[in-house]
Copies of this chain bind each other. A is one copy, B any other.
């Protein structure tokens, strides 16, 4: 080890003679909306442990990169995504969460529109796919490690946060209609909303454009962009 014995005494009389470091990873919960369902991007593990099982994409944190840099590297390398929204979710530190060795995982929640995700996945050669979060959580699919629990926690975070924070916009393209925005909110909240009430609530968070949807056999819908304050 590079570090000296003395350096180990960080605010503690920690016995460095038995000192072993855990490994640290970041794990990504990449969420999007597809066909009116909340979806999570998972990869198929091609090696032990949990071979052939689904897992969250992730990576070890290098000694010379921040956690956020590890997330950005992972997003770009594994999914081809740059400059998308993400936030730290929770740090998971159970001793036996990886059967081989001690790994502490800092999980990050990432939100992206299906359009952008699909474009990236098309350009990359990818071994991952989208899965319905509700299906995953109803236990019909077993995940590697504690990744099922992590997805459940991410699902709760999103449901809570959408009530007081404008995260729904992250799941839409730059230009969107209010019915689209309402549908995203309904999916995240798990319940229907009244159109008029929803609009009153969010109208000051958007700016209308002069553009409209077209081609469908009903009244066109005005396109809006997000208001950044």
Contact = CB atoms under 8 A, between A and B. Distances in A.
Nearest to A3: B101
A58 to B, nearest CB: 5
A7 B65 contact: no
B104 A24 contact: yes
A100 B65 contact: no
Given A6-B62, A65-B6, A23 B16 contact: yes
A11 B61 contact: no
Main secondary structure of the interface of A (DSSP, over half): loop
Contact of A60 (B8, B91, B94): B8
Interface string A28-72: 000000000000000101010100000101111111111110000
A101 B7 contact: yes
B11 A59 contact: yes
Contacts of A61: 22, 93, 104
A2 interface: yes
Contact of A10 (B2, B16, B19, B103): B103
Contacts of A49: 11
A86 to B, nearest CB: 14
Contacts of A7: 77, 100-101
A180 to B, nearest CB: 28
B100 A3 contact: yes
B62 A5 contact: yes
Contact of A63 (B3, B19, B55, B88): B19
Interface of A: 2-3, 5-14, 16, 19-25, 43, 45, 47, 49, 55, 57-68, 73, 77, 88, 90-91, 93-95, 98, 100-104, 106
